[in-house]
Amino acid sequence: MEVNRQFSEKALKDFKLIDQAVQGGDEQAYADLMERYKKPVYHMILKMVRNVDDAEDLTIEAFAKAFKNLERFKKDYTFSTWLFRIATNNAIDFIRKKKLETYSLNTSFSDDNGDAVTIDLEDKNLNPAEETIKTQKIELIRMFVTKLPAKYQRLVKLRYFDELSYEEIAQELGAPLGTVKAQLHRARELMYDLVKDKKQHI
């Protein structure tokens, strides 16, 4: 690992925000990190899963896991490289489970320093480490769900835990499809806020 390598100005700013978040408990630093990377992470995931709603869900999960483990981040590589790997691994787990038809997973992305972030899909079965990640992800989402207003909790449980489609949720609740989509969109916005404000909830 090249610890003393040259980093971009954006990467150095990320390091400063991480220090403020982890060492100083600065909630705004978490929000700033999410603001800097929410769109690129979302668009990267969207290319993988080709579904707007799934991409939104997976983006929330990626930031939740990253922020929960932020104190373990090492400055050997850029934050964007680390975050993108978390996001891609999470998306690969989703793709495997859903057996989606997606673009080639041999594609690589570049972080702020131009380093390749490769998506490597070798085995269709989850290994023990991936099973652990999956379990942690479920635990994270369960924790955030309990913080949501009651009207959104059942919707989120049906979507995340029971893994029902929007159409299935609408049928289950006897509600219009448009209403289900609107309420789940609002629930996701609230969950983003909880992820950003994660020190009060973890």
Dist CA 108 CA 111 (whole Å) = 10
Regarding pTM above 0.85, the answer is no
Tell me the mean pLDDT in the region 4-31: 86
Domain ranges in the chain are 9-200
pLDDT band at residue 82 using 50, 70 and 90 as cut-offs: very high
Summarize the confidence of residues 183-190 as an average pLDDT.
86
Average pLDDT over residues 14-40: 89
Alpha helices, DSSP H, located in 50-200 = 52-68, 79-98, 128-145, 150-156, 166-173, 177-196
145-185 per-position pLDDT tens digit: 778 888 888 888 888 777 788 899 999 999 999 999 898 88
The H or E element spanning position 19 is helix 9-22
- Kindly state the greatest CA–CA separation across the chain: 59
In words, the CATH class of domain 9-200 is mainly alpha
